Amino acid sequence: MFIDELTPIFKQFTSHPLSFTSGFFSGLLRLNLADDPVKSWLDQQRDSNNHTTSTDAHNGKAGGPQQISID
C-alpha cells in the first residue's frame, strides 16, 4: 500500500535524477524560484533546452474543468 504511493516518485527520480534532486533540495532549502540567482539559472537552462514535451499539453489540465460522475 505505501509502496504504491511512492512509485511515481521513484519513477520520476529514475527518469530525471538531476532535476528531481535539485527540485527536492530547492524545496528543502525553501528557495524561491523568482529570486534572481535561481531565476537567471532557470532561464539559461530553459533557453538551452528549448524543447517541449507532449505530456505537458496532455496532462488533463489543458482542457479546463472536466465533469466526473460518482456512483
- pLDDT tens-digit profile, the chain (71 residues): 677 888 888 887 788 888 778 888 888 888 777 777 777 877 887 787 665 554 555 555 556 788 888 87
Q: Report pLDDT for 29.
A: 86
Asked if residue 9 belongs to a domain, the reply is yes
Q: Report pLDDT for 34.
A: 78
Asked if residue 24 belongs to a domain, the reply is yes
* Single pTM value for the model: 0.37
Whole-angstrom distance, CA of residue 8 vs CA of residue 20: 12
Q: Report pLDDT for 2.
A: 75
**Which residue has 507532449 as its cell numbers?**
54
Count of domains forming the chain: 1
Nearest CA-CA partner of 23 in 6, 7, 44, 9 = 9
Whole-angstrom distance, CA of residue 16 vs CA of residue 68: 32
Domain residues for 3? Answer: 1-29
Asked if residue 47 belongs to a domain, the reply is no
